[in-house]
Amino acid sequence: MSEPKKTKYDRQLRIWGEQGQTALENASICLLNCGPTGSETLKNLVLGGIGSITIVDGSKVEIGDLGNNFMVDEKSVGQSKAKCVCAFLQELNDAVKSKFIEENPDTLILTNPSFFSQFTLVVATQLVEDSMVKLDRICREANVMLVFARSYGLTGFVRISVKEHTIINSKPDHFLDDLRLNNPWPELKRFVETIDIKTPDPVVHKHIPYVVILVKIAEEWAQTHSNNLPSTREEKKEFKDLVKSKMVSMDEDNYKEAIEGAFKVFAPRGISREIQEIINDSCAEVGSKSSDFWVMVAALKEFISNEGGGEAPLEGSMHDMTSSTEHYINLQKIYQAKAEADCLSMEQRVKNILVKVGQDPSSISKPTIKGFCKNARKLKVCRYRMIEDEFSNPSVTELHKCLASEDSSAIGFYILLRAVDIFSATYKKFPGQFDGEMDEDASRLKTIALSLLSEMGCNDYILPEELCNEMCRFGAAELHVVAAFIGGIASQELIKLITKQFVPMLGTFIFNGIDHKSQSLTL
């Protein structure tokens, strides 16, 4: 990556690195409807250096758009909204390729479904339910990622719809270091055996790495506890007391680190339940059309059963700790050597699997396999229900749970956001859209919402009167402040999907701007 580009994108490169930035620059995005919600979503991606954008919107800029969309001005009135927004976004980052199509997205979905197959991801904003269902089918068939976003008065939602999204670098907020203190391999054991933690030299004693201290004491503990590590609260306390008893002075930071890090000895050996589920997934039974991710998962499964001895490949990284330089460097070399050996084993297994299924054995690069090994304990697989399935057959258990909660406003808005689309299809307008019909619209909306609840098997739930009234008061307006928030959430999820870093939201994200609350509903 060139230095000017590194400077330009410096802050975000610190988050998702050059690999993530390259993925963004290679991505092509299609936006349906460029009102404030769509424009705000795309603005964040353009500033981040997305490869190319295509805006689809058949409407003209009206006077009302000047109050909620900063990407149009008075000169834009009467002109193509897609053209004006496209020109504004191009000014923000001239490295992004941009084009616009003056066509109604609903019409495009009906008449030209193959149009969407050219994109990496489609962002569909302000679509009604019928168009959402149709577009979801199209994008899944074309294997194109899809994100829905909508703002409606003081509420809104974001919903991802992808058949399957696999993540190697999930970047969890908190994760246990891969030091294997609870299951040291032979080379680490041999190194630990060369160090005497009973040394009479006080300077040497306070510079023994805590990794060595804990492996030594864990071994001592196991010898007197039937080869078991501490498991109960009492045993864990006893183990920490044993570590503390080895201190010769109160200023030994290495022993303080050992006491603080003692929980790493107590951690269960082997792989997590989540990784176990991934390696046992039916997709891990690979074939000629399997993705790189699942080929590497198949190799991981073999590795865990053989060389790994029940463990994933070692990450090989070590954080700073109180230690003599000599001990730290030797320890670092041992961890790196083990990680490299594990990676080589994985490389060979990946090649063997590729040959077996008739794929090119060099099709998965060494850096890709190395990155997979480094993050093998943090793999994630996300699968999303079709919108149509969620609408026609929502999880009754989850529905009742949401409805019975103390704050049921999120599920209330979810129901009403569906109800307004049924209202619109029936009465050819949105509730509250025209003056003087508020009371009648509120009554009709409530009837539709209750009918929806009945279809979902939730006859006992009474929809709060004030929520129906608020939805009518919104009159289907897009408020800029809500659109900007929904657009921010949507663009954040888009970046996760494109870079394949971090874990995207599951379910439907509902924003309640009245009470400043949000909730994700997995229905």
> What is each CA distance from 294 to 35, 168, 241, 300, 352, in whole angstroms?
39, 11, 45, 9, 14
Structural domains in the chain plus CATH codes: 5-164+479-521 (3.40.50.720), 186-265 (no CATH), 273-383 (no CATH), 387-474 (no CATH)
CA angle, residues 178, 180, 185, in degrees to nearest 5: 130
- Compute the residue count for the chain: 523
Three-state SS at 112: coil
* E strands in 397-521: 508-512, 517-521
Picking from 486, 487, 504, the residue whose alpha carbon sits closest to that of residue 495 is 504
Picking from 391, 421, 497, 443, the residue whose alpha carbon sits closest to that of residue 167 is 497
> What is each CA distance from 224 to 184, 189, 217, 241, 432, in whole angstroms?
18, 18, 11, 15, 76
The C-alpha atoms of residue 469 and residue 467 are separated, in whole angstroms, by: 5
The tens place of each residue's pLDDT in the chain, 523 residues long, gives 788 788 888 999 999 999 999 999 999 999 999 999 999 999 999 999 999 999 999 999 999 999 999 999 999 999 999 999 999 999 999 999 999 999 999 999 999 999 999 999 999 999 999 999 999 999 999 999 999 999 999 999 999 999 999 999 999 988 888 999 999 999 999 999 999 999 999 999 999 999 999 999 999 999 999 889 999 999 999 999 999 999 999 999 999 999 999 999 999 999 999 999 999 999 999 999 999 999 999 999 999 999 999 999 999 999 999 999 999 999 999 999 999 999 999 999 999 999 999 999 999 999 999 999 999 999 999 999 999 999 999 988 888 888 888 888 899 999 999 999 999 999 999 999 888 888 899 999 999 999 998 888 887 787 888 999 999 999 999 999 999 999 999 999 999 999 999 999 999 999 999 999 999 999 8
42, 56 in Cβ contact below 8 A?
Answer: no
Q: In the chain, what are the helix, strand and coil shares in percent, each to the nearest 5?
A: 55, 10, 35
